[in-house]
Amino acid sequence: LPEFQLIQTYFSRQPVHRADVDIGIGDDAALVSPAEDMQLAVAADVLNEGVHFPAGTDARAIGHKALAVNLSDMAAMGAEPSWFTLTLSMPGEDKDWLEGFCQGLYELASRYNVQLIGGDTVSGPLSIGIQVCGYVPRGTALMRNGARVGDNVFVTGTLGDAAAGLALHDQKLCMDDSSASLLLNRLEFPEPRVEAGMILRDCATAAIDISDGLVADLGHICEMSGCGATIDAERVPASESFTRFVEAGGDRRLQLSFGDDYELCFTSELDEVELNQRLDDAGCTVTCIGTITGSSGIRLTDHNGKEVGFDETGFEHFGNRTT
Ligand code: ADP
Ligand code: MG
């Protein structure tokens, strides 16, 4: 298939058509007319085979995840995603692979009304680069530097599922089929918290998406806000499947050290009840896991406030309680 035809077949027929796109795929560059009074949030993320996903991962999952990780950056800024470009490097022209990839990509793009407006297609090792843009009303973006001493620290959803999914993929553990498939699904099809991010514009003082692990990513908020945090490690929310994973011998510390769940971590003056009311329409719950302090660094405690040790790979001396 000539490159032109490949682009025609798989990319020119992308499913989203927005009024703020004047020219999409087909010319030397796309033309867009951004809405007035808005700032544009711009982010890019690359997924490489063997680095960001194991070789042999389902093409549909790759298409989904390549866009999902970028939408997650929009969510962390409180931005409403609008357009994206795709730079695709692949070793050959595998029709089945491309169809699966586009299916995963376009299903998510349609759901968030985000339009593919251009890109580049080259041959080489499998690598998927996406750059995404989104709108945020001027001055309302969620940034990493706004946390203040006394704020509560929250996470959306549950943490650890993607890590457990990867451990299962690597066949490090045996579990019942339904839990295993739920966990694998969280690894391969992460749900970006876009609606939550937009609602949090009015409630959060700082936010980040958890791609590198809770402690590392909350660490970024603390550094940029010039503060520290105390986290009750036992309050970090876990799914039922993750609890099963721990019961089967899985490492609970993965909840703190492993990213890839693409949940949001944020700080707010509001409490958990109030936030859950405001986030009712976003389809996720939030859990308060600690507070922002005046010291530097992150201090982890158990339920009784007793400090638990911590190293690069996670926290130490910590039992298997999962509630
Ligand atoms: P050029 O040589 O001007 O870069 P290309 O042949 O690379 O043109 O691309 C032709 C058109 O197809 C451009 O509008 C480009 O943005 C688009 N395009 C190419 N590859 C992709 C892709 N993977 N996804 C989306 N659009 C693409
Ligand atoms: Mg090109």
Q: What confidence score (pLDDT) does residue 1 get?
A: 67
Nearest alpha carbon, ligand 1 atom 19: 120
Nearest alpha carbon, ligand 1 atom 1: 28
Given a cut of 70, whether residue 42 has pLDDT beyond it is yes
- Ligand 2 centroid distance, CA of 27 (Å): 10
Binding pocket residue ranges, ligand 1, CB within 6 Å? 3, 7, 11, 25-28, 86, 88, 116, 118-121
Exposure class string for 21-34: b at 16+ Cβ within 10 A, else e: beebbeeeebebee
Q: What confidence score (pLDDT) does residue 315 get?
A: 45
| Residue 30 and residue 117 in contact, taking contact as beta carbons nearer than 8 Å | yes
For 117-132, how does the pLDDT look when each residue is reduced to its tens digit (9 = 90+)?
999 999 999 999 999 9
For 249-277, how does the pLDDT look when each residue is reduced to its tens digit (9 = 90+)?
999 999 999 889 999 999 999 999 999 99
- Ligand 2 centroid distance, CA of 238 (Å): 44
Query: Exposure of 236 by Cβ count < 10 A (0-12 exposed, 13-18 middle, 19+ buried)?
Result: buried
For 164-178, how does the pLDDT look when each residue is reduced to its tens digit (9 = 90+)?
999 998 877 888 889
DSSP state for residue 48 in the 8-state scheme: E
Q: Supply 321's token pair.
A: 């309680």
**Ligand with the closest atom to the CA of 4:** 1
Q: Say which amino acid occupies 221.
A: I
Query: Hey, what's the torsion of the CAs at 203, 204, 205, 210, to 10 degrees?
Result: 180
Of 6, 9, 10, 11, the residue with max ligand 1 atoms within 8 A of its CB, to mutate for a pocket test, comes to 11
Query: Hey, what's the torsion of the CAs at 83, 267, 191, 34, to 10 degrees?
Result: -10
Instruction: Please state whether beta strands 264-268 and 297-301 pair in parallel, antiparallel, or not at all (unpaired).
Output: unpaired
